[in-house]
Amino acid sequence: MSRPDLSSIFPLEGGCACGNIRYSLNASPLVVHCCHCTCCQRETGTAFALNAVVEGDQVTLLPSAPSAPWLQPLASFPESVRDSWTPKRLRPGVSHDTKQAGSSGVETSDKFEKDIPSPVLLPVPSDSGVLQHIARCPVCFVPVWSNYGAGPLIKFVRVGTLDRPALLRGPDAHIFMRSKQTFFEVADDGKPCFKGFYPTKEGVWSPEALARQDKLLVRILEWRKENGLDG
């Protein structure tokens, strides 16, 4: 399936409802799913979830919105559930006086790290049988993305959390149609629909997206082995 070239619109910014978590989506998604599974319906309280699937390192955390600092989390979370993998960066043009660079040039200042909050990763089941970890703002608990079997290396970004979600031009495929709500009619626009998950990515993902995924496979396999997910 060919997806229109959207490279010129990136990066796109998004965030949670309260503004505590802000992020940048830096590349075109590999694929955009409209998922009608019962787990997504329950998690969102709506008829489906719209997820932009992208390499994990193509998402970066940004400083909170100006309106967010007065908000405080209602609960404390152990460091083990914080998303420590997603990279952070200041906005272009922002003074770098508050951070320091290590010998590798990577920003390592504790103040810089604390100035940009991370979501918390909370585990829940999914209809596919693969445990997902939902990245939620620790203040308002709005989900911004999920990690599945590839862990942090592939993110399922919630399209509705983007500031301008319409720029992605809708989903590439509808999945888990067997549990679609009867009142919702899927547009007859040629987008493929599947009762469950599609059996193969060919025909759903673009050739360019498949090539990008191939580059990730070794890293994904290594991550799964390190985390005891593969024998």
Tell me if 210 is assigned to some domain.
yes
Token code pair at residue 128: 């596919």
Question: Residue 1 falls within a domain, yes or no?
Answer: no
Range of the domain at 140: 7-226
How many domains does the structure of the chain reveal? 1
CATH number for 64: 2.170.150.70
Residue 95 in any domain: the answer is yes
In a domain, 107, yes or no: yes
Domain assignment present for 231: no
pLDDT of the chain, 231 residues: tens digit per residue: 556 677 789 999 999 999 999 999 999 999 999 999 999 999 999 999 999 999 999 999 999 998 877 777 878 899 999 999 999 988 765 544 444 444 434 444 556 666 899 999 999 987 777 789 999 999 999 999 999 989 999 999 999 999 999 999 899 999 999 999 999 999 898 999 999 999 999 999 999 999 999 999 999 999 999 988 876
- CA 220/CA 217 separation, integer angstroms: 5
Would you list the DSSP string of 139-166? TT--EEEEE-TTGGGEEEEEGGGBSSGG
